[in-house]
Amino acid sequence: MLRLARIRYLILSSPSHVYKLYIVVPRDESLIEKISMDLMKLGCFEVITPSKEKMVREVKELSEYVSLLEEAKRIYDAFIANLENEIIVEIKYTLNPDEFRYILEKEVEKLRDIVKDIESINTEINSINTSITELQLVREHIASIMNRYGDTDTSILKFYGTLLSIDTFYVPQYILPSIEKLAIQIIARTSSGEISLLTAVFDSKTYNTILKSYRQAISRPKIIENLRPSTLSRMVMEIDSEIATKRDAIQRLLNEKRRLLSNYIDDIAILRIVLDNEYEKVKLIENVTRSKYLALVIGYVPETRIDDVKKYLSSYPMHIASERTSENIVEFNNLRPFKPYELITELYGVPSPSEWDPTPLIAYAFTLFFSLMFADIGYGIGLILASKYILPKLVDDPTTEGFRKFQRMLYILAGGGIVIGFLAKSFLGDLLGKYIPIPQPIINTTDVLFMIGLSLIVGLIWITIAHVIALAKAIIGRDLGGTLLESGIILILVFGSIWAADYIHIDVGIFKNYMSIIKVMVGIGIVMLIVGRVKSIGSIGGFLWIFDITGVMSDVLSFMRIAGVGSASALLAVAFNGMIYGVYTSYLALNIVIAIALGVILGIVVHLFLFMMYPLGPFVHSLRLCFYEILTKFYEGGGRRLNPIRVSIKPKLTLTPTPRR
């Protein structure tokens, strides 16, 4: 899988997402300065220096986020406390760290009332369990009376008379001896922990005194309070029935609680993931903002360099926390051969975190277009030498990353020009090109019709590639209108080009036998295009689809500029070579030395002149084709590139005097 991902980076890469790094250090100026210098040397840390107002606002937002995390943790703990068994939850989709706060707010809002329902169920279960415990104690108490006195009537539990009274109540252990001393007879006593259930006979006067003196400490069971005339055995049966009813009620409540826990277990798992990633980190950062003894260095770092920063600063007394930022800040993450072409992509627009980076694709396209328009070995060698020795003298600081990338890109473009120049038998035009050891030019840049055909084929291929990528983007984004639209355009490009070639009597080979199918596919493409356009922008799309077709045609035709620039340059070189040869032959009869000298001098002057004006055209037109014919189909470029602090020592400085007043 990893290998496939790296293969994909040969076509379209993904920018490196940027994380916000919080470096917690002791409040020591010298230590902070050392860390800052090391970060500058590392060259991947963009320092965040918010204004005082923004800092106050961020601290407030941080406090609010901490409160949200605290509530989320309470909800999570409440849920986990109610689980009966260990549960393994499969996370069905990948969580985006950029959305952690949004996810947290949504889950807390959803689970807040569910937790209240579960707590309400627990309260009710506890109340019923308390009632069952009371009934079980009363049943045990009645059973002990029946063992001693038989199945008598219930007046043995509660009776009020003029002289004597019988009562049954709970008595704390610490006053039990005092109550028993006042009793005429103890009928039964059943203890449970720190309390006893006591049935005793008192004289009525003493009984009334006990009720007044100990009314805060003693209490009757509810079943005794509501006692009806009956027998003890019947009362036991009623207690058993009530206990069974209450246990059924508990079971129903437990089933309801299990249902709630089961229905929301995925949400709890998501909550756990967010808390694991955010809770300790955010709490630490909040504590630092309030500390007198700790300082906080905040900045952006590419995801791919976080480990480098931690390793580089590991010798310092500090703690590093990171979070994925929601800002549209990225760093390019291309394979080494494509890095010079990041300049082209950046010129159009830096990719946003959610976009593909088209730099590898642009590298292929730009190099091909430039090379076809700059197809000459001599001029390619000249471009390499000029890039190496002349270009550095035209800038203030040739050591910057941007200049080095531009220089390497020119080397690659020159190499491409040399390769195509070899295939075109062009070395300063035909001056030395005729000595290249191939019988005929494979790419004949002086044949205008051939170059027009080649340019149109190249354009058709690259426009199709751009729309295929746009189709993939629409499918991934679940954009039905875009999917239909791009599918239709691709069908029109592929099958329409074969139909058009056959229409103007160009040999299309085996496809000639399938022209009826090809025409049907073009029709299907047009229908898909119309439906997709209507789906995307409404009924007006039923009229505007025609501009999509003409637009695609103009995109392909735009590539004829390759033929125009390439052939014009080649033919101009041939014409100048003819002039050089004419001068040489004119003076050859007079003096061969003079003829050779004049030919060499004129050749140098003419081709130096051509070289000075030659590369600019291919470069500008290649940019135009990449920007307007390819990138506009699928690329937006709405991001911002990371701007890390770096140690920069320029070899030259321009010092401008301040005007005197």
Of 202, 224, 248, the domain-final residue: 248
Position 465 in a domain? yes
Number of domains in the chain: 2
Of 201, 217, 248, the domain-final residue: 248
Distance CA 170, CA 403 (A): 92
Distances (CA, A) of 120 to 57, 106, 125, 558: 38, 22, 9, 72
Q: Which long-range CB contacts under 8 A does 571-576 form with residues at least 24 apart?
A: 571/446, 571/448, 572/610, 573/376, 573/426, 573/428, 573/429, 573/430, 573/431, 573/607, 573/610, 574/429, 574/430, 574/446, 576/429, 576/606, 576/607, 576/610
**Do you know the residue count of the chain?**
661
Of 248, 263, 296, the domain-final residue: 248
Position 1 in a domain? no
Position 308 in a domain? no
Reduce the DSSP state of residue 51 to 3 states and report it: coil
Same domain, 228 and 357: no
Same domain, 385 and 498: yes
Same domain, 460 and 569: yes
Task: Quote the pLDDT of residue 1.
Answer: 43
Position 486 in a domain? yes
Position 64 in a domain? no
Same domain, 464 and 603: yes
Q: Are 614 and 17 in contact (CB under 8 A)?
A: no
Task: Quote the pLDDT of residue 291.
Answer: 65
Stated pTM of the model: 0.69
Position 619 in a domain? yes
Q: Are 413 and 370 in contact (CB under 8 A)?
A: yes
Residue range of the domain that includes 354: 339-641
Position 111 in a domain? no
Same domain, 237 and 386: no
Position 53 in a domain? no
Same domain, 346 and 220: no
How is residue 251 written in tokens?
């079971």
Same domain, 372 and 242: no
**What residues of the chain score a pLDDT lower than 50?**
1-2
